Structure 1
């Protein structure tokens, strides 16, 4: 498998600012790898909630993460200010493949980049459902290549 190369900030249509927290660092003095997944989840869900496409507490449709991965290029550490770039690589009937990248303040090349897949399901049955129109409308501007 060929190792990906870090991508540029401009490759992502949305950026979510995210300050590191004291608890994000591990004993090696940098942000722990598992924390990047929380950054990804935060960036996507904040984007959707801000656009009225996600009702966290009582919406009929919820997104479940079914796949995730991350590649690391350079460390980040507390107290840095980061931003998470968000784009959509695939917008399906009931699923979305997000591509994300973490950028350190003032840097245009990602220090980490990853992907995850949300399958949207009925909150009640946990069975896949078609993406609601407001969710699809919020995601379309993030589609890669648009």
Structure 2
């Protein structure tokens, strides 16, 4: 698509390796479009847990996805090895917009690119809350 911006590897701050699975492919022989969202979610949450100290099981704060989108540029299929590029496009008081791209291992241009918006909430009340310090610091490290 000529009107789509380029998404290059150098544009992203962190990369999460993902192994495609046999059942990710659809009847057309490529990874089904909805699976890309699980790759995005896995990359974001791995980063939040490993770098930001997010406790997904017992923490007082959790992140809820409130918006997401994805644009597709080239097919991927099992057994492709991929990496999800991650950066932060906007960081608010209680929300963050992640910008993500999926790259086949070794490729400089993305096969797909998308975004996810998380709102951080208190687990007990489901009400928005400021992003905790360690988590905020990890997200600031991804700011573009």
Normalised TM-score (structure 1) = 0.95
Confirm whether residue 60 of structure 1 aligns to residue 96 of structure 2.
no
Asked whether the 8 Å contact 1:6–1:73 carries over to 2, the reply is no
Counterparts of residues 125-144 of structure 1 (less than 5 Å): 125-144=125-144
Q: CA deviation at 1:44?
A: 0.6
Q: CA deviation digits over 1:1-51, x for unaligned, max 9?
A: x94223100100000000100111001000000000000000010011112
Counterparts of residues 99-118 of structure 1 (less than 5 Å): 99-118=99-118
Give the alignment's Cα RMSD to 1 decimal: 1.1
Find the residue that maps to 1:142 and give its secondary structure: coil
Q: CA deviation at 1:53?
A: 2.4
Counterparts of residues 1-146 of structure 1 (less than 5 Å): 3-144=3-144
Give me the whole-angstrom Cα distance separating, in 2, the residues matched to 1:84 and 1:25: 18
5+ long unaligned stretches in structure 2:
none
Aligned residues: 143
Q: CA deviation at 1:91?
A: 0.4
5+ long unaligned stretches in structure 1:
none
Give me the whole-angstrom Cα distance separating, in 1, the residues matched to 2:14 and 2:67: 21
Give me the whole-angstrom Cα distance separating, in 2, the residues matched to 1:41 and 1:29: 23
Give me the whole-angstrom Cα distance separating, in 2, the residues matched to 1:62 and 1:84: 22
4+ aligned runs moved over 6 Å, structure 1: none
Q: CA deviation at 1:52?
A: 4.3
Find the residue that maps to 2:47 and give its secondary structure: helix
